């Protein structure tokens, strides 16, 4: 069977258009992909002060989250991953403060300005991100002041530029703090908690 040159040309054009279409679709999908939190390069720390003069650093070791292409940020914190450096204190916090059997996680949701997500390698953008923190069955508005550093086209590093102060009373945690104070035989534990974090998001 003989295939005409015109048929060959037409077939080649269809193949070329299909290839271009696939390539454009791939680029579009990549451009619209969510930014996923890299848990291995993320750290969330909070401070507690006891007896008005001893301040200690604690952290959560298990976090998940993402930022959608539209800028919707969602971070989930596994409260059972609290790490204070002392096993018995970890257990007490999980059971007496956070009540992880009923409230397993905390969630922070916010809208990230698109300008913060766009940029080239080496760019750094500063600004506030306002959102809602849901913790222990309650929710309160929280603002983090952050720096967004663009590592490359598919990686951004985010870190707080100053601590954000949380009040345990906003989340109904006063009685838990008091229980921790009593069982540890302390004179006081502050109700204001500074929080800082560093996080890496990748596409």
- The pTM (predicted TM-score) of the whole model is 0.81
Residue with tokens 């040309």: 9
Same domain, 89 and 175: yes
Query: 103 or 6: whose pLDDT is higher?
Result: 103
Same domain, 163 and 192: yes
As a whole number, mean pLDDT of residues 96-104 equals 98
State yes or no: pLDDT of 8 exceeds 90: no
Q: Are residues 153 and 185 in the same domain?
A: yes
5 plus 49 within the same structural domain: no
Q: What tens digit of pLDDT does each residue of 17-60 get?
A: 544 544 444 444 444 579 999 999 999 999 999 999 999 999 99
- Domain shared by 98 and 17, yes or no: no
- What are the φ and ψ backbone dihedral angles of 194, each rounded to 5 degrees? -75, 135
For position 189, what pLDDT does the model report? 97
**Exposed/middle/buried for 102, CB within 10 Å: 0-12, 13-18, 19+?**
exposed
> Would you state the pLDDT for residue 2?
53
87 in the same domain as 51: yes
- Checking if the pLDDT of 9 tops 60, the result is no
List the CATH number of the domain containing 139.
2.40.128.110
Segment 96-116 shows an average pLDDT of: 95
Q: Is 174 in the same domain as 88?
A: yes
- What is the C-alpha separation between 200 and 68, in angstroms, rounded? 14
Domain hosting 122: range is 33-202
Residue 187's alpha-carbon distances to 51, 93, 132, 138, in angstroms, are 5, 18, 32, 27
Rounded Cα–Cα distance for residues 201 and 34 (Å): 9
Ranking 14-18, 23-27, 103-107, 160-164 by mean pLDDT, the lowest is 23-27
Does residue 79 sit in the same domain as residue 137? yes
**89 lies in the same domain as 123:** yes
What local confidence, expressed as pLDDT, does residue 23 receive?
A: 44
Alpha helices in the chain (DSSP H): 5-31, 87-92, 114-117, 174-184
Determine the Cα–Cα distance for residues 7 and 13; give it in Å rounded to an integer: 10
pLDDT number for residue 33: 73
User: Do 45 and 9 share a domain, yes or no?
Assistant: no
Q: How confident is residue 156, by pLDDT bands cut at 50, 70 and 90? A: very high
Answer yes or no: do 45 and 27 share one domain: no
- 114-118: long-range contacts, CB 8 A cutoff, minimum separation 24: 114/70, 114/71, 116/148, 117/35, 117/67, 117/71, 117/148, 117/156
- pLDDT computed for residue 26 by the predictor: 42
Q: Examine the domain organization and report whether 20 and 114 are in the same domain.
A: no
Strand-pair category, 43-50 with 54-60: antiparallel
pLDDT category of residue 118 using cuts at 50, 70 and 90: confident
Q: State the pLDDT at residue 25.
A: 44
Number of domains in the chain: 2
């Amino acid at each position: 069977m003989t295939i005409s040159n015109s048929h060959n040309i037409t077939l080649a054009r269809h193949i070329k258009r299909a290839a271009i279409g696939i390539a454009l679709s791939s680029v579009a999908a990549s451009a619209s992909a969510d930014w996923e939190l890299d848990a291995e390069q993320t750290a969330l720390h909070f401070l507690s002060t006891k007896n008005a003069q001893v301040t200690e650093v604690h952290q959560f070791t298990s976090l998940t989250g993402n930022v959608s292409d539209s800028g919707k940020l969602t971070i989930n914190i596994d409260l059972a991953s609290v790490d204070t450096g002392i096993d018995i204190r970890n257990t007490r916090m999980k059971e007496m403060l956070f009540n992880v059997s009923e409230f397993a996680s905390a969630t922070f949701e916010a809208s990230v300005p698109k300008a913060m997500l766009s940029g080239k390698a080496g760019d750094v953008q500063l600004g506030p991100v306002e959102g809602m923190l849901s913790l222990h069955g309650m929710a309160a508005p929280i603002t983090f002041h952050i720096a967004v550093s663009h590592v490359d086209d598919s990686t951004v590093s985010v870190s707080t530029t100053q601590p954000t102060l949380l009040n345990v009373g906003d989340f109904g945690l006063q009685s838990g703090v008091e229980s921790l104070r009593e069982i540890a035989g302390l004179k006081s534990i502050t109700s204001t908690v500074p929080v800082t974090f560093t996080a890496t998001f990748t596409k």
